[in-house]
C-alpha cells in the first residue's frame, strides 16, 4: 500500500517537472475593445495577442476578445477594466483626457514624435515610467497597443490657401487637434463614424480627418473630397492595452511573461500592417481617382497651428504638475531623437530622391 502511494506521488512529481505548462490551471480572460471586431488594423492587436497567448501557453491561457458590437460601450473600456468586468482592454489613451489630461501623451501630440521616436521614448527613456504613474490611479496597467504611423491631415472639399480659409470651416477633428483648430476659427464638430461619409458628401461638414489611406479608403471619403492634406496633428497615434492590476498579479510568472511578449509583438505588428495597407490603398486611390491632390497646409497656417498647440500644452502644464513633467520629458527626448532622425532617415530619403 505504502509503496503504491510512493510510486503514484513520484509519478505526479515527475509529471509536474516534465510538463510545466500542463501543470498550470487554465486561465480564462476577457478583453473588450473600443473598435468593432472587423475594424482592422485597430482590431488586429487584440486578436493577435489572444492567438499568441493561447499558442505560447499550450492552451493554458485563453483570452476572449469582444468588439464594441458585443459590449456596446466603446468609451467604457477603462472603467470596465478598472472594475474587473474585463481583465483586459484595447483602446486609445487620449479618450480618457476628461479623466486625466496627462493620458494624451501616450497616444500622440500634434507636432510631436514619430513612431520610432515615440517607441524609443516609451521603451528606452521615461515613457513607460510616466505611463504607469498616470494609470496607477485607475488601478490598471497600461502598455503600448499598436501604432498608426503619421496620420493624414484629412479630406477637404476646398483648398486651404490661408488662415482666412479656416474661419468658419466645418470640420470633424477630435482631440487636442480639434482644440487647436477651434482656436484658429474652425467650427469643430463631432460626428459618429457611420455618418461621416454622408455628412461630407452633403456638405454638412467641409472637411474631416480619419487616419490614413489604409483605413480612409474603406470610408470612401476620396470619392467626395479631392484635397488630401498631409499630417501634423497625429504623427504617431499609439493604441493601448489596459490590464486589470489584480488579475495580472494572479497570473503565474510564465503567463505574465507570455502576455508581455505577445502585447509588445502585436503592438509593433500593427504599425507594419497599417503601413502596408496605406501603401496599397494609396496606389489604388490615385489610380481610380486621379483628381485627388495631396497638399500640405501653407506655412503660415502650419505656424499658427504650431503656436496654438504650444499655447495649449503650456496652459495645461501651468495647471498640472504631472502634465508639466511629462511634457518636459517628451520635449527633451524629442529634441535629441529628432536630430538623429534628420541625420539618418530624413537625409537618406532626401538622398535617395536626389539621385533619381
| Interacting residue ranges for Ca ion, rule: CB under 5 A | 151, 234
Least distance to Ca ion from the beta carbon of 177, Å?
8
Minimum Å distance from CB 234 to Ca ion?
Answer: 5
In the bound complex, what is the minimum distance in angstroms from residue 201's beta carbon to Ca ion? 19
Query: Quick one: 42 or 52, whose CB is closer to Ca ion?
Result: 42
Nearer to Ca ion, 125 or 234 (CB): 234
Minimum CB separation of residue 228 from Ca ion in Å reads 14
Gap between the Cα atoms of 2 and 6, Å rounded: 6
Are 249 and 160 spatial neighbours (Cβ–Cβ below 8 Å)? Answer: no
Nearer to Ca ion, 206 or 234 (CB): 234
Q: What are phi and psi of 33, to 5 degrees?
A: -120, 155
Please give the backbone phi and psi of residue 38, each rounded to the nearest 5 degrees, phi first. -90, -5
Given the complex with Ca ion, which of 70 and 218 has the nearer CB atom? 218
Helices (H), the chain: 2-18, 20-23, 44-56, 68-71, 77-83, 115-124, 127-135, 175-183, 196-202, 213-219, 245-250, 253-288, 299-319, 321-341, 347-354
Q: Do residues 219 and 17 make contact, with C-beta atoms less than 8 angstroms apart?
A: no
Considering the complex, state which of residue 117 and residue 234 has its C-beta at the smaller distance from Ca ion: 234
Measured distance CA(247)–CA(280) in Å, rounded: 40
Compute the Cα dihedral for 147, 149, 154, 155 and give only its sign. Answer: negative
Q: Closest distance between Ca ion and the C-beta of residue 173, in Å?
A: 8
Which residues contact residue 76 at a Cβ distance below 8 angstroms, ignoring those fewer than 6 apart?
32
CB of 230 to Ca ion, least distance (A): 13
| CB of 102 or CB of 107, closer to Ca ion | 107
**What residue number has its CB nearest to Ca ion?**
151
Amino acid at each position: 500500500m505504502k509503496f503504491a502511494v510512493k510510486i503514484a506521488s513520484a509519478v505526479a512529481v515527475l509529471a509536474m517537472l516534465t510538463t510545466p505548462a500542463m501543470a498550470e490551471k487554465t486561465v480564462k480572460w476577457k478583453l473588450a475593445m473600443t473598435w468593432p471586431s472587423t475594424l482592422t488594423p485597430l482590431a488586429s492587436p487584440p486578436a493577435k495577442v489572444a492567438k499568441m497567448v493561447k499558442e505560447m501557453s499550450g492552451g493554458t491561457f485563453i483570452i476572449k476578445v469582444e468588439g464594441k458590437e458585443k459590449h456596446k460601450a466603446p468609451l467604457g473600456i477603462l472603467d470596465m477594466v478598472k472594475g474587473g468586468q474585463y481583465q483586459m482592454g484595447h483602446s486609445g489613451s487620449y479618450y480618457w483626457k476628461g479623466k486625466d489630461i496627462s493620458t494624451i501623451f501616450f497616444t500622440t501630440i500634434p507636432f510631436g514624435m514619430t513612431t520610432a521616436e515615440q517607441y524609443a521614448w516609451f521603451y528606452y527613456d521615461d515613457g513607460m515610467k510616466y505611463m504607469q504613474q498616470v494609470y496607477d490611479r485607475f488601478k490598471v496597467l497600461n502598455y503600448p497597443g499598436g501604432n498608426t504611423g503619421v496620420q493624414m491631415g484629412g479630406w477637404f472639399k476646398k483648398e486651404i490657401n490661408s488662415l482666412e480659409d479656416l474661419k468658419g470651416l466645418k470640420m470633424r477633428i477630435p482631440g487636442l487637434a480639434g482644440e487647436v483648430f477651434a482656436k484658429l476659427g474652425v467650427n469643430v464638430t463631432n460626428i459618429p463614424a457611420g455618418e461621416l461619409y454622408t455628412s461630407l458628401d452633403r456638405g454638412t461638414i467641409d472637411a474631416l480627418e480619419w487616419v490614413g489611406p489604409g483605413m480612409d479608403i474603406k470610408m470612401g471619403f476620396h470619392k467626395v473630397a479631392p484635397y488630401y492634406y498631409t499630417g501634423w496633428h497625429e504623427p504617431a497615434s499609439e493604441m493601448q492595452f489596459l490590464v486589470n492590476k489584480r488579475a495580472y498579479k494572479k497570473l503565474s510568472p510564465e503567463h505574465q511573461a507570455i502576455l508581455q511578449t505577445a502585447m509588445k509583438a502585436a503592438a509593433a505588428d500593427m504599425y507594419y500592417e497599417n503601413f502596408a495597407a496605406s501603401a496599397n490603398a494609396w496606389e489604388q486611390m490615385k489610380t481610380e481617382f486621379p483628381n485627388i491632390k495631396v497638399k500640405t497646409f501653407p506655412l503660415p497656417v502650419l505656424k499658427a497651428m504650431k503656436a496654438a498647440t504650444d499655447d495649449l500644452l503650456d496652459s495645461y502644464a501651468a495647471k498640472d504638475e504631472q502634465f508639466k513633467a511629462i511634457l518636459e520629458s517628451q520635449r527633451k527626448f524629442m529634441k535629441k531623437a529628432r536630430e538623429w532622425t534628420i541625420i539618418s532617415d530624413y537625409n537618406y530619403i532626401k538622398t535617395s530622391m536626389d539621385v533619381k
